[in-house]
Structure 1
Amino acid sequence: MPSTISATDRPLEKLSADAVVVGVGRGPDGPLPTPGAEAVDRLLGGRLLPALADLGARGAEDEVTRVPTLGQGPFPVVAVVGLGAPETGGGYSAEAVRRAAGAASRALSGRASVVTLLAAVGGTPDDLRLHAVGEGSLLGAYEFTAYKSDLTADRPTPPREFTVVVPDAGQAKAPLARSRAVADAVSLVRDLVNTPPNDLYPAELAERGATVGKRAGLAVEVLDEAGLAAGGYGGILAVGCGSARKPRLLRLTYSGKKARKKIALVGKGITFDSGGLSIKPALKMEDMKSDMAGAAAVIATVCLVAELELPVEVTATVPIAENLPSGTAYRPADVITFRNGKKAEITNTDAEGRVVLADALARAAEDSPDYLLETATLTGAQMVALGARTAGVMGSDDLRDAVVAASRRSGEAMWPMPMPPELRRGLDSPVADFVNANADRMGGMLVGAHFLAEFVPAGLPWAHIDIAGPSYNTGAPWGYTPKGGTGVPVRTLLATIEDLIAAG
């Protein structure tokens, strides 16, 4: 059951909960209190801040110090969460607040109801920080238990009720409702990414996407293998022909009232990637269930845009396939003809994401959108270049930079990457228009973008977001990010779409 979030303007001493959350910063001489921490300290008779010093709290990011109140307050525990060092001017970013709220949620497993004063970090709470507190609290409370067989009534579970203390509860209603909608969309992506591939094969992902799309009031189209063949989707069919579970193409369209912009979303949907005949090493191959994270993200984003009733037209085009080796699998040296008539010589069947995306990009462009946003777990080279938490963004300079700017506000780390023209020569083929993978693998993330660019019409602003690392956390949880599916880049896609609408 998802957690709930609400606001109250009642005095702290008149509230009751299983825990209260406050934030402290990291200073040169120890924790730096915030208005929320000072309020709780006063309520506890000046005992909180000395206790933090005795416990060695530093106020570092992701640090959570639990202090028992011993009956001195209307809550048994105070969770003091670190915000890190303050920014120039003494404040804390919305992302610092978001991460702190998420860390507190994770640390308070077993506490059903939580009162949080994190919105007071910047003094009087504004919409930005209210939204950050809501997102962080709800996303930090996420858990995936669909395949757990030992769920008992006394099992510690994440908090199920969050109450944000603010001066005006009515003013907090809208930002908290938005945080609820965003958290639901991100959780949908996490659920899909975490689902094992024996249960989330191409037809099933298409069906689940169609179901949530219909629930959101979207127009839905699903092509099976016969429809793909009739439509000339040679790339999707080639990648999917090695599996007994055949490929699909899903399209979801939202037509908002007074729409002034038409935006295309495209997301890679490889439900499992063995590498095909160019098979991957066995080590960590199980993580390749996450190779459909881009597809999940664009499905969730178009549904979120519909829920928020934004004045825009958005169509998500989602190519879905399973990349397996078999007697019917596509081969290195095959030449594939895509929907737009271009042909690629296959040099590596493990570079399959760009092969299915080629067809999807060509189809999305046929709708004559004003902008095209595409996201994919495309290359291991993204992680080599930028690590596991920072996505690379390529494409048209202006739209690329707009995506990166939106990501900074959203808290999803991204970095603008170039597309050096000399790298395009690595895709030259002696027998076809181009190969699907360069032999030397230098600049692999950038070369992948060059391949995708072949399917974007000249003059169409487009951005490619490589989320190979950020979409799936193989390490320990941190902030509001759990182990497994993260939900990246739903929040950035939403923020970018809203920016494009505002630009007129």
Structure 2
Amino acid sequence: MQIQTTVGKIQDQEAQAIVVNLFEGVAAPDGATGAVDAALGGAIRALIAAGDFRGKRNEVAVLYPGGGLPARRVLVVGLGKAEKFTVEGIRQAAATAARKARDLGVTQLHTVVHGAGVGAIEMETAAQAMVEGTILGLYRYQELKTQLEDVRPNVETLTLVEFDPAKLAALEAGAAAGRVIAEATCLARDLINRPANLATPSTIAETARTLAEAVGLQCRIMEKAEIEALGMGAFLSVNKGGGEPAKMVILEHNAGREDLPAVVLVGKGITFDSGGISIKPSQDLWKMKDDMAGAAAVIGALCATAQLNLPLRVVGLAPLTENMPDALASKPGDVVKSLKGLTVEIHSTDAEGRMLLIDALTYAGTFKPQAIVDIATLTGAQAVALGTPAAAVMGDEALVARLRAAGEASYDRVWPMPLFEEYGEQLKSDVADVCHVGSRAGGCITAGFFLSKFVPEGIPWAHIDMAAQGLADDDRPYIPRGGAGFGVRLLVEMLRRWNG
């Protein structure tokens, strides 16, 4: 999508459609909406008076000027109650208006920046949210569809219109950041939505290499022989039944810059999770193509980090393998040796993601980072505990606080879980140093506690369990059904705020 900015009056724009807004309960619009209403002879006030438009959040009305304005259509989008309006409301309003415009066949859309006027939200922040909402709301996964004759084309050009020339620089900066972050999220969505016969460890690794070349990241693909030579026995225990060799993607932004703070992001990359020998039920098993959503988030976040040229050294690790059953696959009761040297007893091969992560977390220490953050579709217990509104986060308190703040800003929200020592009692093993699962009680937390045993000593670490956020089952304003791309905006926002 082409993103443009311009200084002028929205009512003067010659466009296929223009977008203005209205808060709930407003009877006489003012500002840009009032100017459009005046040009239309009070048509918006008439809609309000008749009760046909009330300004409720994400409500949309369409008006046809008939010569009163140079635009062919006017879309009025509701922002809800003014006292409850936030940056998230901007994203949703932008997405709602863009989808309605697409339904009408509009390919060139001009819009005011919601929230930057009476909403009192800073222009750069509002512009970023406008572009994020529009691009994310219009996202469709169509690369495998062959019959698109009756599908409306997407909006091709979005023009943000601002009356005050003094705000143009902030408008442009916000729009540019919003585009980078939204496109990185869409990249993650593509990787998640792609079926597992196409999104294999090798194809995801090659995609990451291609993306790295395009945005200026350093990329190295660690092959199975090196993984084995290093002693990543936990990681390889999952790959024993896989149809392809395990790989680990290593992406670096500002590689070699020892003068910059280093942060390592680790993303779980199970390209399909059958459960292995502890095989899953067949119902909804197709959804397990999303078990690499953590890796997709890390790859997307690193691409955005490079394009935004953040003043950090950022490393992304994406360990990749399938989890499949065959005669060589790991079995419940097996014991394997991790990169850290601890032996691990396997009780369920369907708790495989943590086995990849522990070796990747240990390996992350080789980069001598200030912090390590891992993200994974790890436990069904997270979905039970928190549902879809928030992922679980646990670990170092200061790092968790960073992630919570970034989550509130990006609306990729996280909620803290404790890591009390008592949870570790469930992980005792009679035959190994540690068992990799506990009981069903507190399963999200015991998984995190298990991971904590393999984090390099002295390095702040946080774990994000986003099991309920990988795939969206319901269509939301800027999150269509399918791969959500959760975590990209969260991680990028954390990194953008890193140096205060």
Q: With structure 1 as the length reference, what TM-score do the two structures score?
A: 0.93
* 1:259 Cα offset (Å): 4.7
Matched, 1:122 2:120: no
* 1:343 Cα offset (Å): 1.4
Asked if the contact 2:116–2:123 (Cα under 8 Å) also holds between the matched residues in 1, the reply is: no
Residue in 1 aligned with 2:160? Answer: 164
Q: Which stretch shifts more, 225-234 or 332-341?
A: 225-234
Residue in 1 aligned with 2:135? Answer: 138
Instruction: State the secondary structure of the residue aligned to 2:499.
Output: helix
Residue in 2 aligned with 1:384? Answer: 384
Aligned counterpart in structure 2 of residue 493 of structure 1, from 487, 491, 494: 491
* 1:228 Cα offset (Å): 1.5
For 1:115, the aligned partner's letter is H
Deviations 1:29-68, CA, capped at 9 Å, x for gaps: x778563322321221211132144353333333323333
For 1:176, the aligned partner's letter is A
Aligned counterpart in structure 2 of residue 150 of structure 1, from 147, 150, 161: 147
For 2:133, the aligned partner's letter is G
CA distance change for structure 1 residues 483 and 165 in 2, over 3 Å: closer, same or farther? same
How many residue pairs match? The answer is 492
> C-alpha separation between the residues in 1 aligned to 2:370 and 2:402?
14
> C-alpha separation between the residues in 2 aligned to 1:32 and 1:160?
33
Asked if the contact 1:272–1:322 (Cα under 8 Å) also holds between the matched residues in 2, the reply is: yes
Q: Which stretch shifts more, 196-205 or 455-464?
A: 455-464
Matched, 1:75 2:74: no
Say what the alpha-carbon RMSD is for the aligned residues: 1.9
> C-alpha separation between the residues in 1 aligned to 2:234 and 2:258?
36
Residue in 1 aligned with 2:107? Answer: 112
Residue in 1 aligned with 2:209? Answer: 210
> C-alpha separation between the residues in 2 aligned to 1:51 and 1:107?
18
Matched, 1:354 2:354: yes
> C-alpha separation between the residues in 2 aligned to 1:32 and 1:403?
41
% identical equivalent positions: 37
For 1:422, the aligned partner's letter is E
Matched, 1:40 2:33: no
For 2:180, the aligned partner's letter is A
Residue in 2 aligned with 1:185? Answer: 184
> C-alpha separation between the residues in 2 aligned to 1:99 and 1:327?
49
Asked if the contact 2:137–2:479 (Cα under 8 Å) also holds between the matched residues in 1, the reply is: yes
> C-alpha separation between the residues in 2 aligned to 1:53 and 1:427?
64
> C-alpha separation between the residues in 1 aligned to 2:169 and 2:5?
8
Correspondence 1:393-412 to 2 at 5 A: 393-412=393-412
> C-alpha separation between the residues in 2 aligned to 1:354 and 1:118?
43
Residue in 2 aligned with 1:243? Answer: 242
Residue in 1 aligned with 2:289? Answer: 289
* 1:149 Cα offset (Å): 0.5
Asked if the contact 1:119–1:164 (Cα under 8 Å) also holds between the matched residues in 2, the reply is: no
Residue in 1 aligned with 2:93? Answer: 100
> C-alpha separation between the residues in 2 aligned to 1:398 and 1:32?
47
For 1:255, the aligned partner's letter is N
Show structure 1 runs of 5+ residues with no match.
none
Residue in 2 aligned with 1:371? Answer: 371
> C-alpha separation between the residues in 2 aligned to 1:258 and 1:335?
38
Asked if the contact 1:264–1:364 (Cα under 8 Å) also holds between the matched residues in 2, the reply is: yes
Asked if the contact 2:9–2:32 (Cα under 8 Å) also holds between the matched residues in 1, the reply is: no
For 2:87, the aligned partner's letter is A
CA distance change for structure 1 residues 258 and 98 in 2, over 3 Å: closer, same or farther? farther
Deviations 1:400-447, CA, capped at 9 Å, x for gaps: 111001110112122122122211111111111111111x31111111
* 1:11 Cα offset (Å): 2.5
Q: Which stretch shifts more, 165-174 or 453-462?
A: 165-174
Residue in 2 aligned with 1:418? Answer: 418
> C-alpha separation between the residues in 2 aligned to 1:34 and 1:194?
43
* 1:117 Cα offset (Å): 1.3
CA distance change for structure 1 residues 246 and 31 in 2, over 3 Å: closer, same or farther? farther
> C-alpha separation between the residues in 2 aligned to 1:378 and 1:142?
26
For 1:12, the aligned partner's letter is I
Residue in 2 aligned with 1:279? Answer: 279
> C-alpha separation between the residues in 1 aligned to 2:374 and 2:49?
48
> C-alpha separation between the residues in 2 aligned to 1:34 and 1:235?
63
Instruction: State the secondary structure of the residue aligned to 1:366.
Output: helix
Aligned counterpart in structure 1 of residue 56 of structure 2, from 57, 60, 66: 60
Residue in 1 aligned with 2:194? Answer: 195
CA distance change for structure 1 residues 404 and 60 in 2, over 3 Å: closer, same or farther? same
* 1:250 Cα offset (Å): 1.1
Instruction: State the secondary structure of the residue aligned to 1:173.
Output: helix
CA distance change for structure 1 residues 172 and 223 in 2, over 3 Å: closer, same or farther? same
Instruction: State the secondary structure of the residue aligned to 1:500.
Output: coil
> C-alpha separation between the residues in 1 aligned to 2:281 and 2:49?
49
> C-alpha separation between the residues in 2 aligned to 1:317 and 1:192?
16
> C-alpha separation between the residues in 2 aligned to 1:375 and 1:159?
32
Deviations 1:294-315, CA, capped at 9 Å, x for gaps: 1011111112111111111111
> C-alpha separation between the residues in 1 aligned to 2:134 and 2:155?
9
Show structure 2 runs of 5+ residues with no match.
none
Q: With structure 2 as the length reference, what TM-score do the two structures score?
A: 0.94
CA distance change for structure 1 residues 315 and 21 in 2, over 3 Å: closer, same or farther? same
> C-alpha separation between the residues in 2 aligned to 1:14 and 1:227?
62
Deviations 1:463-493, CA, capped at 9 Å, x for gaps: 1111111232111x21211111122111111
Deviations 1:218-252, CA, capped at 9 Å, x for gaps: 22221222222112111221111112222111111
Aligned counterpart in structure 1 of residue 22 of structure 2, from 18, 21, 24: 24
Residue in 1 aligned with 2:6? Answer: 8
Instruction: State the secondary structure of the residue aligned to 2:344.
Output: strand
